[in-house]
Amino acid sequence: MTQLLAVHNLTKTFTMHTLHSRVIKGCTDVSFTLATGEVLGLSGPSGTGKSSILKCIYRAYLPSAGEIHYSSERLGRVDLGRIDDHQMIMLRQHEIGYVTQFLKVIPRVSAVDTVAEPLLHKGVSLAEARSRATSLLKQLYIPENLFDACPVTFSGGEQQRVNFAAGVISSPRLLLLDEPTASLDVKTRQAVIDILNRLKEQGTTMIAIFHEHQIMDAIADRLYQMND
Amino acid sequence: MNEPVLAIANLGKYYGPGCERCINSTGPVAATNICPHCGTVIACHGVTFSLQKGEVLGIVGESGSGKSTVIKAIHFDIEPSMGEMYLNLTIDHSRRENGLLAIVNGKRGFPVVDGKDNIFTLTPFARRQLRNVCMGIVYQNPMLGLRMNFSAGGNVAERLLMDGWDHVGEMRQRIRSLFERTEVDTKRMDEPPSSFSGGMQQRVQIARALSTEPSLLLLDEVTTGLDVSVQARVLDLLRSLTRELNLATIVVSHDLGVINLLTTRTLVMKSGRIVESGLTNQVLEDPQHPYTQLLVSSAL
């Protein structure tokens, strides 16, 4: 198997200028590699920097030190901490997906269109994107009478599933999962696991944070243990 | 990678006599943009960035940070003190072969925009042509962008005329479809914008800005001062329009919510300088500069 991602001595600290330049620790000296198609689980207590790693890979955070080598289909081998913004935008649109438990709601945009949007970036037609979004929302047990409503008024779990659907619909090459099942019941959680397993079979590489051990065991090939 | 549609290099705008110490004694560290030695206002200095096709860039900063100065310079509303601007666009000139514009132009001398010439050095006439055809702007204050006592349709027609349209029936049809798209009540297209609500005035401005199918859209605090529900509708309209038309867009706002909603990349300005730039969600989640951190922690 070929190497897709190699994280090398990744460290993230935050300098809080509004608090007399206090330095807060994100993650320290993290190194791991990931082969194409592999699923890596990040585990460890809260506050050890699991989310920071994912955010650095997605460039929601700028790494303070270390490298994140990624073998891109379009750009070749690049350091995600250092490539320019336009290249990162391109990778986010075509190769790297990121799912959190929080939905960025866009006013007046329906659940279906929120989920369909990533496909539009990839050049899929509106009609097809909507039909794929609809079937994904059905699989996640979102009530059909909510499909054309704006998710701003949805329950926490429904918003989370809309967000999950938007994150996985375009089958990204590398999928970053930050507790996508945090507040879901057993039935919908199983639907999430089924979708993730299907992606895995199709060759999607993943880095995942789950709090429930059962899910981690069901999906991850390997665990990376985080410590203080 | 794509070629940038717009590139700005080292843009500076100064009001006053200027002295040798102006630049070093102003900026975010000095926390002022007024030179203490000669009183010159450094509205902006050293502003450099580029914009690709279809990209939406945000410029955020407090009042007086120079963000509006930047887009006013790009729109040729003010003459920059220094700096360069390059445009690289494909313009369909077929419509301009005949009619008014051909006569005005004489030899149809539309400026070449292949990214090689510094646009700031072109003649005022050439820049005005570029502005009419390639750019649209929406101001915070509709009084700046509209003639309040012309009809709403007339406001759009004015821009179409400058772009060589000369058939009244075709123009009316075009204006009607623009108003339908921007959600202006077409029954009121012959009424003056002075009789319209604030949100509707902004939508007339948006229709006017888009009438000549520009490649570059400039939005200067477009939703500031509108009430929340109207703000959401205008933002939603702008968001879908920039997608649909694949417009390179600059959004100037002090509102991080607006920036977060509309843009993919953001520049943060303070005291006339860019203090930070990056992907919008990175700037919001992991702000580096002390001023950006203050701004993010102050957001509601």
Q: pLDDT tens-digit profile of B184-201? A: 999 999 999 999 999 999
> Do the Cβ atoms of A18 and B293 come within 8 Å?
yes
**Residue A61 touches partner B, C-beta closer than 8 Å:** yes
From chain B, pick out residues whose CB is under 8 angstroms from the CB of A14: 286
Cα-based distances in Å from A57 to A175, B102, B234: 10, 54, 34
CB B197 within 8 A of CB B183: no
What six digits make up the tokens of B54?
Answer: 């279809």
Q: Domain check: are A136 and A217 in the same one?
A: no
Q: ∠ at Cα B13 (B27, B70), nearest 5°?
A: 90
State pLDDT tens for residues A178-224: 998 887 888 998 999 999 999 999 999 999 998 888 888 889 999 99
Tell me, yes or no, whether A2 and A86 share the same domain.
yes
Residue A171, sorted as left (phi over 0), alpha (psi -120 to 50) or beta, turns out to be left
Domain identity same for A121 and A35: no
Q: Is residue A42 part of a domain?
A: yes
CB contact under 8 A, B236 and A109: yes
Cβ under 8 Å to A: B residues 192-251: 232-233, 235-236, 239, 243
Does the beta carbon of A20 lie under 8 angstroms from any beta carbon of chain B? no
The mean-pLDDT minimum among A182-196, B105-119, B127-141, B154-168 falls in B105-119
The answer to whether residue B94 scores a pLDDT higher than 70 is no
In a domain, A211, yes or no: yes
Q: Are residues A38 and A72 in the same domain?
A: yes
A83 touching chain B per CB within 8 A: no
Q: Are residues A146 and A164 in the same domain?
A: yes
Task: Quote the tokens at residue A127.
Answer: 């009609």
Instruction: Please state the rounded mean pLDDT for residues B164-176.
Output: 90
Q: Does B180 touch chain A (CB under 8 A)?
A: no
User: Would you state the pLDDT for residue B233?
Assistant: 84
For chains A and B, what is the number of CB pairs under 8 angstroms? 53
Domain C-terminal end among A171, A189, A216: A171
Domain span holding position A13: 1-95+174-179+203-228
Over residues B17-57, the pLDDT tens digits come to: 989 999 999 998 898 999 999 999 999 999 999 999 989 99
Question: Cβ of A88 and B265 within 8 Å?
Answer: no
Q: Do B236 and A108 touch (CB under 8 A)?
A: yes
| Mean pLDDT within B242-265 | 91
With CA atoms as reference, report the closest residue to B54 among B265, B262, B243, B238: B243
Q: What is the ipTM of this complex?
A: 0.89
Write out chain B residues lying below 8 Å of A108, CB-based.
Answer: 232-233, 236
Assigned domain for A196 exists: no
Whether the pLDDT of residue B178 is over 60: the answer is: yes
Check CB contact of A93 with chain B, cutoff 8 Å: no
Residue A186 lies in a domain: no
Structural tokens at position A166: 């938007």
Q: Residue type at B126?
A: A
**pLDDT confidence of residue B96:** 64
User: How many structural domains compose chain A?
Assistant: 2
- The residue of chain A with its CA nearest to that of B287 is A61
Q: What is the pLDDT of residue B106?
A: 45
Residues A65 and A144 in one domain: no
Rounded Cα gap, residues A164 and A179, in angstroms: 10
**How would residue B166 be classed by pLDDT, with cut points 50, 70 and 90?**
confident
DSSP H or E segment with residue A92: helix A85-94
* Residues A145 and A225 placed together within one structural domain of the fold: no
Question: Residue length, chain B?
Answer: 300
In the predicted model, residues of chain A with pLDDT beneath 50 are: none
Domain of A215, CATH number, reads 3.40.50.300
Average pLDDT, chain B: 89
Q: Point out the domain boundary residue: A149, A171, A193.
A: A171
Out of B236, B243, B285, name the one closest to residue A61 (CB): B285
pLDDT at position B103, please?
47
Nearest by CB to A106, from B261, B278, B290: name it: B261
Give me Rg for the CA atoms of chain B: 20
Position A84 in a domain: yes
Say if residue A140 is in the same domain as residue A119: yes
Q: What is the pLDDT of residue B231?
A: 86
Q: What pTM, to 2 d.p., does this model score? A: 0.90
Together in a domain, A103 and A50: no
B286/A18 CB distance under 8 A: no
Long-range residue pairs from A212-217, CB within 8 A, at least 24 positions apart, any chain: A212/A181, A215/A181, A215/A189, A216/A41, A216/A43
The answer to whether A107 contacts chain B (CB < 8 Å) is yes
Query: Looking at the structure, do residues A80 and A117 belong to the same domain, yes or no?
Result: no
A72 falls within a domain: yes
Q: Is A87 part of the contact surface with chain B (CB cutoff 8 Å)?
A: yes
pLDDT at A99: 93
Q: Is the residue at A193 inside a domain? A: no
Compute CA B151 distance to the chain's CA centroid, rounded to the nearest angstrom.
23
Residues in chain B within 8 Å Cβ distance of A20 = none
Q: What is the pLDDT of residue B109?
A: 64
Q: Is residue A146 assigned to a domain?
A: yes
pLDDT value for B240: 86
Q: Answer whether B24 touches A (CB < 8 Å).
A: no
Task: Label residues A119-152 b or e (16+ Cβ within 10 Å = b).
Answer: bbeeebeeeebbebbbebbebbebeeebbeebbe
pLDDT band at B107 (very low <50, low <70, confident <90, very high): very low
CA distance B28 to A221: 49
A67 and A148 share a domain?
Answer: no
Co-location of A35 and A73 in the same domain: yes
pLDDT number for residue B202 = 92
pLDDT digits (tens, 9 = 90+) for B60-80: 998 889 999 999 999 999 999
The answer to whether B114 faces chain A, any CB pair under 8 Å, is: no
